[in-house]
Amino acid sequence: MTLKFSTPRGTSDILPDAIPLWEGVESQARKVLKSYGYREIRTPVYEETALFKRSLGQTSDIVNKQLLELATSKDEGYALRPEGTASVVRSYLENSFDKKEPLSKFFYIGPMFRGERPQKGRLRQFHQIGVEAIGPNSISPYLDVEIIALAMHLLKDLGIKSPKLKINSLGSKENKDKIATELREHLGIHKKDLCEDCQDRFERNIFRVLDCKKESCRRIVASVVKALPLSDGPSRLHFEYVQRLLKDLGIEYEIAPYLVRGLDYYTYTVFEITAEGLGSQDAVGAGGRYADLVEDLGGNPKANIAGIGFALGIERILLAARPTQDTCAAIDAYMVVMESDSDYQREAFKIVDRLRKAGFNVDMAYTDDRSVKSQFSRANKLNARFTLILGEEELRNKCIAVKDMANRTQENVALGDVLEYLNKRLN
Ligand code: HAM
């Protein structure tokens, strides 16, 4: 048989056997996120294209090459969200959170979409656990370190053995502009020796030249830039304070002088966390501060609203942590009908319905060719704690045989008592 349809390139089905892993990641993450005071927010998976252009930057690769835009008949364009920060800031402003609380701490878990060239750990639909802390006058190094500590805590809890934290600072917006001018001066002399992409980056977004992977560009960068110059006092002090607090919390880090990140909205602290065993796509999470994004998206300039956040890639976490796959979560009971007569099946169906409504996880076979043997093997496959057996004798005596699949014992239970019996044995 030739398959007619398959998943789009760079996407994948998450099949039922893998769902317990995903549920485990999500519920563990929710627990940790709540313990740091973050509350869940759910935004649409698509937004106005202009929102992404405005926030991530016209010159960023995500906007230039990877936005998956929706074809609509109207003039206004929409695109699938490539990340969560822009949507959360849009929602923060639309719902006037700045007037409701001094600091809003959000988290989100969901799919993101980027039209990238797929490879190991790089997908077109992938999932992030993200966090954003936004509020007026909130540029505090304590918040930077809370965010970084939370990211490290989450990754360790999700099974990443030795996550490596790299940090850098771009300083304030003014400082960032100054760095861009200096970089242009220093790198300008070598412009013709940079790779074709970097010559383009030199014009569009000079910062991206710093994290070019090509050896020849790296050599040029290393010869002219030792560290990003933090020339204004507050930017430098902020970064020093962040490092001091990281040390206080015992969080190991490395300063990565060329870490600039691919999104335009970052200012001050930026960071990336890598894990082993992922090949070239080894960032399991990344984030940073955005001091001007809220204002750029319509926030009151006088309110001085800043934000900081990160996102972790769930697929990369699962690749790096390699948790063992629980093939099938156990069900409470499986109903085995001894006779193929429809009266038995109808009676069994009613019992199953009653048990499900009482909250038990129960299943039974509906196909015509169900032999007793195949029903038992299905019960085993589903890892049923009990099988409930209904045959002629049981029905005559208004009872059901309950078999404990773990110790192979069996006893008859009156039909009216099954619920209570299971309640007692399972709780
Ligand atoms: P990002 O670095 O673009 O940042 O993505 C964060 C994480 O998402 C990456 O470290 C990676 O684990 C995962 N990821 C990104 N792209 C892909 C892909 N194509 N396939 C699989 N996994 C991927 C952001 O998205 C920012 N919004 C983070 C942030 C929040 N900054 C401030 N607040």
CA of 419 to the centre of ligand 1 (A): 48
Ligand 1 binding pocket includes 85 (Cβ within 6 Å): yes
Tell me the mean pLDDT in the region 148-167. 97
The residue whose CB lies within 8 Å of the most ligand 1 atoms, and thus the one to mutate among 9, 62, 83, is 83
As a whole number, mean pLDDT of residues 173-187 equals 90
Residue 128 beta carbon below 6 angstroms from any ligand 1 atom: yes
d(CA 343, CA 230): 81
Q: The whole model's pTM is what?
A: 0.91
Which residue's CA lies nearest to atom 21 of ligand 1?
Answer: 122
Residue 421 has pLDDT above 90, yes or no: yes
pLDDT of the residue at 330: 84
Task: For residue 129, list its beta bridge partners.
Answer: 109, 312
The whole-number pLDDT of residue 233 equals 86
Residue 303 is predicted with a pLDDT of 93
By mean pLDDT, which of 37-41, 56-60, 284-288, 321-325 is the weakest? 321-325
- Report the 3 state secondary structure along the chain: CCCCCCCCCCCCCCCHHHHHHHHHHHHHHHHHHHHCCCEECCCCCEEEHHHHHHHHCCCCHHHHHHCCEECCCCCCCEEECCCCHHHHHHHHHHCCHHHHCCCEEEEEEEEEECCCCCECCECCEEEEEEEEEEEECCCCHHHHHHHHHHHHHHHHHCCCCCCEEEEEECCCHHHHHHHHHHHHHHHHCCHHHCCHHHHHHHHHCCHHHHCCCCHHHHHHHHHHCCCCCCCCHHHHHHHHHHHHHHHHCCCCCEECCCCCCCCCCCEEEEEEEECCCCCCCCEEEEEEEECCHHHHCCCCHHHCEEEEEEEEEHHHHHHHHCCCCCCCCCCCEEEEECCCCHHHHHHHHHHHHHHHHCCCCEEECCCCCCCHHHHHHHHHHCCCCEEEEECHHHHHCCEEEEEECCCCCEEEEEHHHHHHHHHHHHC
- Which residue of 310, 314, 319 sits with most ligand 1 atoms within 8 Å of its CB, as the best mutation to test the pocket? 310
* Mean pLDDT, residues 354-370 taken together: 89
Which tokens sit at 164? 């490596």
- pLDDT classification of 423: cutoffs 50, 70, 90: very high
The answer, yes or no, to whether residue 225 has pLDDT greater than 90, is no
283 lines ligand 1 (CB under 6 A): yes
Residue 178 to residue 157: CA distance in whole angstroms: 40
The verdict on the CB of residue 82 being under 6 Å from ligand 1 is: no
Give the position, in ligand 1's atom list, of the atom nearest the Cα of 290. Answer: 32
Nearest to 314 by CA among 14, 6, 40: 14
Q: How far is CA 263 from the centre of its chain?
A: 18
Split at pLDDT 50, 70, 90, the class of 326 is low
Please indicate whether residue 57, judged by its CB atom, sits closer than 6 Å to ligand 1. no
Q: How many residues does the chain have?
A: 427
287 lines ligand 1 (CB under 6 A): yes
